[in-house]
Amino acid sequence: MHQLTATDATHVLSEAGSHVSRIIDGYVFDPAGATVDLEAVLEWLTPRIEHSPVFRSWIRRVPADLDYPYWAPDAEFDLRNHVTVEPARAPGWPAVRDRIVEVCGTRLASARPPWEVLVITDVSGVDRVPDGACVVVLKIHHAVGDGMATVELARELFAAQPLPAGTGYRDVSSGAAFGRAVLRIPGNALRFARGSLRAQALTRAAARAAASGEIRTPRFRWPMTRFNRTHGGGITFDVVTFDLAEIRALRSRHPGIAVTDVIAAVVGDAMSSYLRADGEVPAGSLGGKVSYSLRGAVDSDSGNNFVVLSVDLHTDVEDPVERLRAIHDSMVSEKRRFAHPAVAELSGALDVAPAVYVNWLVWRRSRLPIGRGETVSLGNTMLSNVPRGAENMRFLGGRAVESFGILGVGDGSRLNHYVVSVGDRLTVTFAADPDVMPDPDRYADALRRAYRTVVDAHLGETEAAHLGEVDQA
């Protein structure tokens, strides 16, 4: 029996209303003349879904949610229920984008393994994508894992050669899971009590570290914007591509600066200019919620092993050079805070909590007045940068030429950004609630202008233009 951790289970327990807990990754492949139809895709995927048991298992909830769900093998598994292959509805990116938006808004079937693949074939008329390319959209429930975990699964699906078959999960019936949950109540209560005492001690240790200046506590509260009010229920997205050679040149000029720092500066500038154009001037600097993986730093059985940094985007600093330096300092400060032993251990405190307590937390959060008042917690937008190594991926023999990812939107977080690089291209995918961004093309232009402002300020227009010419040669 393989049970979900508390952290992973929250993504199952919290699904309600317009909130759909899923991760969507997109990969663009050049099929190099290969036939791309349903039978060919099924033949490709069949041996590749055998390595990880997740692909053939579903999430069995315990009656009354008395304990966390279990992974259970799907005795009636049929790969055809998880794969759709269809041609692009029309030339150009809008037709592809609109089809993917439909995927974003639907829930995964609860009684099947929680993943789907959509393959859009015969894509044409899209900048920097060869005509005849196919777009493969991988949709996975967030309970499976975070962005790093889903990339690992994608590498299995898009491996040139299938990996060895793995061992499947052992089944557990609903009755057995319920009986086990009842027997575990005393032990879980004791474990929670001990964990609570430990968390209190760790909180005091973290407070002492902050008081001594060993770590710095961020602001946590940021000015309310339209992007932080109640979700209207819909989603739109678009992808903006940047030249990774320029960003590398910038980083070589300014050692220590990370790609995430640069994109955070771009996003902050774009959001501010977009809001100002509509007469909405934030009451102070905007903040970013930046996902930060703890893999390798914290031992955890969770597929979701990350924390959210609360980073000042310093949108009140006019000079782009000073602003990037300030963002970098804020980013480093937050990473240093989570590297502190007490804070790092606190990040996993939820995993000692019993399911009934986590259910109560989910219920309580659903009734919080999110989107009201003059400030918002943690940040105004989510920013996630997940390394993929997609250039090594293959699909029906074709290579990956571009990749993107779509973060969900919800109450308090109606504009989010996902950063991916493949080869010499870096893509920023922004997802937004169309009620507050009816014109995503205008925001895409704002991102491009902000990028040019940041890069030209650090490299100069002449060098940046030269790098662009070299890249196109």
Bridge-based pairing state of the strands 221-223 and 306-312: unpaired
Residue 51: partners with Cβ closer than 8 Å, 6 or more residues away: 156, 162, 163, 164, 165, 166
Same fold for the pair 2-179 and 216-355+366-472: yes
CA 199/CA 203 separation, integer angstroms: 6
Instruction: Count the neighbouring beta carbons within 10 Å of the beta carbon of residue 442.
Output: 13
Distance separating alpha carbons of residues 49 and 163, to the nearest angstrom: 9
What digits encode the pLDDT tens for the residues 406-415?
A: 999 988 999 9
d(CA 61, CA 71): 9
Local structure of residue 113 (DSSP, 8 states): -
From the centroid of its chain, how far is CA 63? 30
201 and 344 Cβ atoms separated by less than 8 Å? no
Kind and range of the H or E run holding 326: helix 320-339
CB 25 within 8 Å of CB 390: no
Max Cα distance, the chain (Å): 70
Give the three-class secondary structure for 388: coil
Q: Angle between the 259-277 and 244-253 helix axes, to the nearest 10 degrees?
A: 110
Q: Could you tell me if 155 and 162 are in contact, meaning their C-beta atoms sit under 8 angstroms apart?
A: no
Task: Give me the pLDDT at residue 469, please.
Answer: 46
Is residue 329 within 8 A of residue 254, CB to CB? The reply is no
Domain 216-355+366-472 has CATH 3.30.559.10: yes
CA angle, 257 then 260 then 263, to 5°: 105
Model's pTM, two decimal places?
A: 0.91
Retrieve residue 313's tokens: 């985007």
pLDDT for the residue numbered 381: 97
Residue pair 60/429 in contact by the 8 Å Cβ criterion: no
Please give the pLDDT value at position 32.
82
Alpha-carbon distance of 409 to 382, in angstroms, equals 9
DSSP 106: S
Domain ranges (residues) in the chain: 2-179, 216-355+366-472
- What's the CATH number for 2-179? 3.30.559.10
Distances (CA, A) of 339 to 110, 212, 313, 422, 427: 37, 16, 21, 29, 29
Question: 225 is written with which tokens?
Answer: 């914007």
User: Residues 361, 417, 115, 105: what is their CA dihedral angle, to the nearest 10 degrees?
Assistant: 80
Task: Give the CA dihedral 72, 73, 77, 82, nearest 10 degrees.
Answer: 60
Supply the DSSP symbol for 413: B
Are the C-beta atoms of residues 285 and 326 closer than 8 Å to each other?
no
* Residue ranges of the chain whose pLDDT lies below 70: 16-19, 296-299, 390, 461-473
Tell me which residue of 205, 386, 210 sits closest to 295, measured CA to CA.
Answer: 386
CB 52 within 8 A of CB 2: no
Query: Among candidates 300, 274, 301, which has minimal Cα distance to 417?
Result: 274
